[in-house]
Amino acid sequence: MHDIDLSLYPGERVGLVGVSGSGKTTLLRALLAIEAPDSGSITCQHQPVRPGSTAQLRWYRRAVQYIPQDPASSLDPRMSVRALVSEPLIRLHVDCDPGERAREALAQVGLDAPFLDRQPHQLSGGQAQRVAIARAIATRPRFLLADEPLSGLDLPVRAQVISVMKNLCDESGTGLLMVSHDLSVVAQLCQRTLVMDDGNIVEDRPTAELWRNPRHPATWALINAVTQLPRCALPDCNAAEVEALV
């Protein structure tokens, strides 16, 4: 990565897009405090963030939570949904009733109380992704970092999960950075889009503006890879503009 300058604010929904090898995963690992940047610094709420033990980073793990790409493989099959959603609360010493907070988090993602007693193998793909989101929001984080959270979901389920994530950010003021290679997905969820190419952020603009007037060849390539942009994705674009883009 080279000279990355990135800010994420509470309640903001930001997409980070780019082809494989562009640097998205490296940047995400740095933001998750898994790897340290070669130079520069990362701060959260005016505090420096560096890789460290769970005890050293407990404040950061509460403030910043992660939504994985493949919830099926990230959810321990031996644990119930109740235990899975409660686990970060217990590990991070959150002062609350873990069971009640787990129920509350599930309700936020549209799952009712009976799901608390289910095992991961009893969940559909969309339900597993909602449980992964509930697990991430149970600590009431200020920011969510998501890695391709909608890949592998069929279109109706994807639309439901997008709606859930929008509502979470808008109602709770949680900031979201979503990594994706698919601009059409980002267009439906994110207000601002960052385009990465060869370790650099080459565009950082409002999503609708970026769609209308892509400036960098990497952005053009991503747009050309989109076969169909949902009509609801860019409410400020008329149908003719959307057809011209895709």
The residue among 231, 206, 203 whose CA lies nearest residue 215 is 203
Q: Which residues are CB-contacts of 184 (< 8 A; sequence separation ≥ 6)?
A: 226, 228, 229, 230, 233
Which DSSP state fits 154?
Answer: -
The CATH number of domain 13-245, selected from 3.40.30.10, 3.40.50.1100, 3.40.50.300, 3.40.50.150 = 3.40.50.300
Please tell me the pTM assigned to this model. 0.84
Q: 243 pLDDT exceeds 80?
A: no
Q: Which amino acid is at 159?
A: A
DSSP code per residue over 68-101: -S-HHHHS-TTS-HHHHHHHHHHHTT-SS-HHHH
Mean pLDDT, the chain, integer: 86
CB atoms under 10 Å from CB of 5, counted, come to: 7
Task: Note whether 75 and 128 are within 8 A (CB).
Answer: yes
pLDDT at 221 over 60: yes
Nearest by Cα to 232 from 219, 242, 245, 220: 242
Q: Which residues make Cβ contacts (< 8 Å) with residue 226, sequence separation at least 6? A: 182, 183, 184, 246
Which has more confidence, 244 or 110? 110
Tens of pLDDT, residues 128-174: 989 999 999 999 999 999 998 887 788 888 888 898 889 889 988 99
Decide if 106 contacts 164 (C-beta within 8 A): no
Of 65, 27, 38, 34, nearest in space to 49 by CA: 34
Helix (H, G, I), strand (E, B) or coil at 16: strand
pLDDT (0 to 100) of residue 2: 64
Domain-by-domain residue ranges, the chain? 13-245
Judge whether residue 245 has pLDDT over 50.
Answer: no
CA atoms within 13 A of residue 143's CA, in its CB half-sphere: 20
* 218 or 228, greater pLDDT: 218
More confident residue, 174 or 181: 174
Please give the torsion angle defined by the CA atoms of residues 60, 90, 71 and 182, in that order, rounded to the nearest 10 degrees. Answer: -20
168: buried, middle or exposed (CB in 10 Å: 19+, 13-18, 0-12)? buried
Identify the helix (H) or strand (E) that includes residue 201: strand 200-206
Range with the lowest mean pLDDT among 74-83, 108-117, 152-161? 152-161
pLDDT at 93 (0 to 100): 92
